[in-house]
Amino acid sequence: MSVHGQVKIRTSAEQKAARERERAEKLQLYLTQYQSILNNRYLLDSFQLLKQTENVLIDHPDCFTLWNIRRESILKLNDDQQKEYLEKELQTTQICLKSNAKSYSCWYQRQWVLKLLKDKFNLNLYQNELQLCKKYLEYDERNFHCWAYRYYLLERLCPSSSSSSSDLESFYENELSFLRSTIGVNLSNYSAWHYRSKYLDKLLDHNPSRRSSLLSNEWQLVLNAFYTDCSDQAAWFYARWLLFKQIGIEFINEDEHIKPLEELDNIEPGNKWCMLALSQLWKGKNIKNDKRIIYLEQLANQIDSDRAQFYRDQI
């Protein structure tokens, strides 16, 4: 307890007022700094501009103009300084990402830096970036900026077609296994399933002899997903791609593909995904089944009437 004054605890009205004051002060400071940079843009040298913009961007990372100014300033530097500042830029953007992990500007800036550094390709740098992506995906597995950036990195790191075939194959398999573990943590992760489809495609193109075993395993994975949670759409979308685009109608067989879905339908009647998948499969394989039309009508009229026309079109 202080000698001079009383200890007092703020009421919620006072708390709110305090927060408003704080926000107003912050806004004022930002506007002043921003205006000053714009006014002096052509008067200051690159280094000063980089310093000043950094101060503002750390708290307000989504200001496009300031990032533009940074890019301009870095491009004005000579080769050695440029390299140094490009690498520093990675650190700067990392700090800014702490304010907003989904800032378009920050992620774009990182890509821009890597593009410029491309000629001085540094494997460690890319590995570090991959680690960073992994960390950010742990914080938020749906950060699509991070996913897109990760794939940009993987394109860069992918062994070229001139390197050994097994290198390329293990590269794809590593990625598939990373995606598998991400899905293992949360099977609703649509991004993970989406990228899985891309890499499966690449692996199948690269090594067609493994086609049937890979597709079989993949089907088991996806069956596992909708038996665990039959309402999760990510797995169903993937299944649709897998069945119709990858496996192909001729190779879909009743025992492996259709029967498990029919069993699921028995346990979980009224599940729109299952009903739709079965309707499409029965039609595709020319299996005469009265249920098909009944299901499509149920879907159109009751279960998913928002998409009624979509179902009716299939009848």
The site for another protein (CB under 8 A) is made up of 2, 4-10, 15, 17, 21, 184-187, 223-225, 227-230, 260, 263-264, 267-268
CA 312/CA 296 separation, integer angstroms: 7
- 15 C-beta neighbours (distance < 10 Å), count: 11
Smallest gap from Cβ 185 to another protein, in A, equals 6
Q: How far is the CB of 16 from another protein (least distance, A)?
A: 12
**13 versus 43: smaller Cβ distance to another protein:** 13
Using the minimum distance from each CB to another protein, give the nearer residue, 8 or 118.
8
9 or 123: CB nearest another protein:
9
CB 315 within 8 A of CB 294: no
Closest separation in Å from C-beta 42 to another protein: 36
Give min distance, CB of 223 to another protein, in A.
6
- The CA distances from residue 49 to 43, 54, 62, in Å, are 9, 8, 17
Smallest distance from the beta carbon of 109 to another protein, in angstroms?
32
What string of DSSP letters covers 105-151? HHHHHHHHHHHHHGGG--HHHHHHHHHHHHHHHHH-TT-HHHHHHHH
Nearer to another protein, 15 or 35 (CB): 15
| Type of residue found at 118 | K
DSSP state of 247: I
Q: Which is nearer to another protein, 204 or 230 (CB)?
A: 230
